[in-house]
């Protein structure tokens, strides 16, 4: 009790700084507008009168990890309402892609009064936390309401383990409220147990981020688009690009065309409000550009194909030979996007040096010779030329990607089994 009291006082003192960091304007970061009130527990009532499963995914990475679990839960029981909370607006943007499968609210700050207000409005039947996002007052209050709490896709690095060891009483305060901890790897499970968590609560289920469902329909639509764009020509895609990044990508494409004149770039800006400005930028670079929405026929003279639609990223990636994942050439502004989607499609994949939103997975892929880093436009061109000109190397990268995904899938089903036990 005393520990939580002093923690709450400290949180109160630090909250202005934390809130400033959360609400500070940043390129590519959606605004909160009037929804900031939800951080203090003022959440609008849910549409369904049934008690929802509550999934907390703090930001982008956790939101992406939650998606396959949400899809599996809905497939198991379509009528089950699911509430997803995020702390950040970028996480909320990711959850919006799930459409009507879920309802989204912002997570209340870790004050008991805010969490209580939120729980009285939303009435969840259980709480599923993505990736070890543990807050003392939230766990205490949720448990006091009689709501089971599980941690999914949990990681506990050796550094975090040693950190918790130093504050063992605080960790004990957190862990006593947990019903299940579903860990990504055996090492994570052993560290939780070493911290005193009952081994019957700890399970190894794998990482759900690798369970990307690519339907036959999506694969076919990618093949059909490839036929329209040109089966024989080299095609690469720059996916989820941002302002300030397109210029570097187009410069790389200009250099590529000097080496490979029939190369085609599929350019897909991250935000739809940038579709028109991206098209103008392509024209400023003197590229012969066609918008996807224009329905114009792509000829061998077309140099850039602008993906100005929403919800078709996998189709567009499927039509390409190589994928560069955007949001990774802008220093610390964005931190990359989901590189696993092109990997799941067996595409040789490139990223810029800034991928902190997906640090661990991207590093695994780099170590596995599946993803290559390009620090600038020159390196990006060199990588593209190297992959396009060497079919054996291209096939090697493709096989690595598919093998890596196959080896790491299956976590969603194991996680679902643990959820069902609740």
Output the domain CATH number for residue 192.
3.40.50.11720
345 falls within a domain: yes
10 falls within a domain: no
Domain identity same for 189 and 240: no
Nearest to 272 by CA among 30, 72, 8, 33: 30
Catalytic residue list contains 62: yes
Q: Catalytic residue among 62, 93, 312, 341, which?
A: 62
Q: How many CB atoms lie within 10 A of CB 177?
A: 19
Measure the CA–CA gap between 117 and 384, rounded to whole angstroms. 53
Domain identity same for 342 and 206: no
Domain identity same for 45 and 171: yes
Measure the CA–CA gap between 68 and 82, rounded to whole angstroms. 13
pLDDT at 27: 66
57 falls within a domain: yes
pLDDT at 32: 87
8 falls within a domain: no
Q: β-strands 349-351, 322-325: how paired?
A: parallel
2 falls within a domain: no
Q: pTM for the complete prediction?
A: 0.75
Structural domains in the chain (count): 2
Domain identity same for 183 and 234: no
Q: The domain that contains 274 carries what CATH number?
A: 3.40.50.2000
What are the angstrom distances between the C-alpha of 160 and each of 126, 193, 240, 287?
26, 14, 32, 49
Domain identity same for 300 and 158: no
In tens digits, the chain (422 residues) has pLDDT values of 677 888 888 888 888 888 888 888 876 678 888 899 999 999 999 999 899 999 999 988 789 889 999 999 999 999 999 999 999 988 898 899 899 999 999 999 999 999 999 999 999 999 999 988 899 999 999 999 999 999 999 988 888 899 999 989 889 988 999 999 999 989 999 999 999 999 999 999 998 988 988 889 999 999 999 999 999 999 999 999 999 999 999 999 999 999 999 999 999 999 888 999 999 999 999 999 999 999 899 999 999 999 999 889 999 999 999 999 999 999 888 889 889 999 999 999 999 999 987 888 899 999 999 999 999 999 999 999 999 999 999 999 999 999 999 998 999 999 999 998 87
1 falls within a domain: no
Domain identity same for 172 and 221: no
3 falls within a domain: no
Measure the CA–CA gap between 122 and 319, rounded to whole angstroms. 43
Domain identity same for 379 and 242: yes
22 falls within a domain: no
Domain identity same for 193 and 240: no
Domain identity same for 306 and 395: yes
Domain identity same for 334 and 195: no
Residue 336 CB contacts under 8 Å (≥ 6 apart), including other chains: 325, 327, 328, 351, 352, 354, 355, 356, 357, 358, 362
Domain identity same for 189 and 334: no
Domain identity same for 115 and 264: no
- Which domain, by its residues, includes 383? 216-407
Measure the CA–CA gap between 341 and 359, rounded to whole angstroms. 15
What are the angstrom distances between the C-alpha of 3 and each of 58, 172, 175?
24, 11, 14
Asked if 197 and 173 touch (Cβ cutoff 8 Å), the reply is: no
């Amino acid at each position: 009790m005393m520990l939580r009291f002093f923690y709450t006082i400290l949180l109160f003192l630090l909250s202005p700084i934390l809130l400033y960091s959360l609400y500070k304007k940043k390129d590519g970061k959606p605004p909160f507008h009037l929804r900031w009130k939800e951080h203090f527990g003022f959440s609008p009532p849910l549409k369904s009168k049934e008690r929802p499963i509550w999934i907390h995914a703090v930001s982008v990475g956790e939101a992406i990890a939650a998606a396959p679990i949400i899809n599996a839960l809905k497939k198991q029981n379509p009528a089950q309402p699911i509430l997803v909370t995020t702390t950040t607006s970028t996480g909320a943007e990711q959850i919006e892609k799930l459409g009507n499968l879920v309802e989204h609210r912002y997570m209340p700050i870790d004050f008991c009064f805010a969490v209580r207000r939120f729980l009285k409005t939303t009435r969840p039947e259980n709480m599923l936390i993505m990736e070890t996002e543990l807050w003392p007052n939230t766990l205490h209050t949720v448990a006091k309401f009689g709501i089971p709490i599980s941690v999914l896709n949990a990681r506990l690095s050796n550094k975090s383990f040693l950190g918790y060891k130093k504050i063992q009483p605080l960790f004990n305060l957190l862990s006593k409220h947990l019903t299940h901890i579903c860990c990504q790897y055996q090492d994570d499970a052993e560290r939780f147990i070493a911290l005193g968590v009952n081994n019957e609560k700890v399970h190894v289920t794998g990482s759900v981020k690798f369970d990307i469902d690519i339907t036959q329909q999506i694969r076919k639509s990618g093949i059909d688009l490839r036929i329209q764009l040109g089966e024989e020509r080299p095609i690469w895609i720059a996916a989820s690009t941002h302002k300030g990044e397109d210029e570097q990508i187009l410069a790389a494409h200009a250099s590529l065309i000097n080496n490979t004149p029939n190369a085609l770039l599929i350019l897909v800006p991250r935000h739809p409000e940038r579709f028109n400005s991206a098209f103008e930028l392509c024209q400023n670079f003197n590229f012969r550009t066609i918008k996807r929405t224009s329905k114009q026929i792509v000829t061998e003279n077309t140099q850039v194909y602008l993906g100005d639609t929403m919800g078709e990223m996998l189709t567009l990636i499927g039509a390409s030979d190589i994928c560069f994942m955007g949001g990774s050439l802008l220093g610390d502004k964005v931190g990359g996007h989901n590189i696993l989607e092109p990997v799941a499609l067996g595409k040789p994949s490139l990223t810029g040096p800034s991928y902190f939103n997906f640090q661990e997975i991207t590093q695994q892929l780099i170590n596995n010779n599946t993803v290559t880093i390009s620090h600038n436009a020159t390196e990006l061109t060199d990588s593209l030329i190297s992959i396009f000109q060497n079919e054996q190397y291209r096939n090697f990268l493709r096989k690595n990607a598919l093998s890596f995904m196959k080896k790491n899938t299956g976590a969603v089903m194991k996680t679902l089994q643990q959820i069902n036990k609740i």
